[in-house]
Amino acid sequence: MDEVRLDQIIDDLLRKDPRCQYSDEELFDLGFRHKFQIESYLCKRFYGASSTYGLGRKKATVTRRAKRLWSRMMEAVNRVTEAGGEGVYQVSEAWKYSHPALGFIFARDIEEAECIAEMFFGFLVEDAEKLELKFVERGGPDQIQVFNEDLIERYGRLRDEATKKLAEAERDLALSSKMLTYLGNFSPETFKP
């Protein structure tokens, strides 16, 4: 959706009584999946800020507006997310919320998405039944690259952090092994004249 149309819909939804009625798909296509995304949009659009930090009393205005907008679009977004459709799906492993998603796929509907997810990602998890799908964007397969680029960046950071932790663990292991050997050689006789 272009920026002008996005701004028009948001302005209408901010009214006490919006003039238009929007379909679930129109609200989903605005791109907001959480209230904090709306807050970021409002901060940037109205105050040129990246977050509510430092906005002072304007923070309350952003919070109030975000709450109003999200309450008007949340159910529609949830309905489209659950129903799925032709577009991009996020594939994750159930109960692994601390890890990034496994990847993104394109499918024509939820059933096709389940088959594709199992085919491409099933071997990465203990049980393919634990794959979770989330419809994230309507459209064609071209959008997958943008989502996967972000995911590649996140996994790169995760790998770098794990490499650093592994190096620290190896140093700790070497030191503790050395100290165990060294201290194991001490006995009362070592100190007797």
Q: pLDDT-based confidence at 192, cuts 50/70/90?
A: confident
Two tokens, residue 26: 């129109």
Identify whether the C-beta of residue 108 lies closer than 8 Å to the C-beta of residue 86.
yes
Residue 67 is predicted with a pLDDT of 96
Q: Round to whole Å and give the CA distance between 17 and 19.
A: 6
Rounded average pLDDT over 169-186: 90
Rounded average pLDDT over 27-52: 93
Going from N- to C-terminal start, the domains of the chain cover: 3-83, 87-145, 148-191
pLDDT for 155 beyond 80: yes
Rounded average pLDDT over 16-41: 95
Residue 191 is predicted with a pLDDT of 73
Q: Round to whole Å and give the CA distance between 179 and 193.
A: 24
Residue 17 CA neighbour count, 13 Å, CB half? 0
pLDDT for 180 beyond 80: yes
pLDDT digits (tens, 9 = 90+) for 75-88: 999 999 999 999 99
Residue 77 CA neighbour count, 13 Å, CB half? 17
Q: pLDDT-based confidence at 167, cuts 50/70/90?
A: very high
Q: Which helix (H) or strand (E) holds 104?
A: strand 103-107
Rounded average pLDDT over 53-63: 90
Identify whether the C-beta of residue 74 lies closer than 8 Å to the C-beta of residue 125.
no
pLDDT digits (tens, 9 = 90+) for 68-121: 999 999 999 999 999 999 999 999 998 877 678 999 999 999 999 999 999 999
Q: pLDDT-based confidence at 52, cuts 50/70/90?
A: confident
Q: Nearest 5°: phi and psi at 104?
A: -130, 145
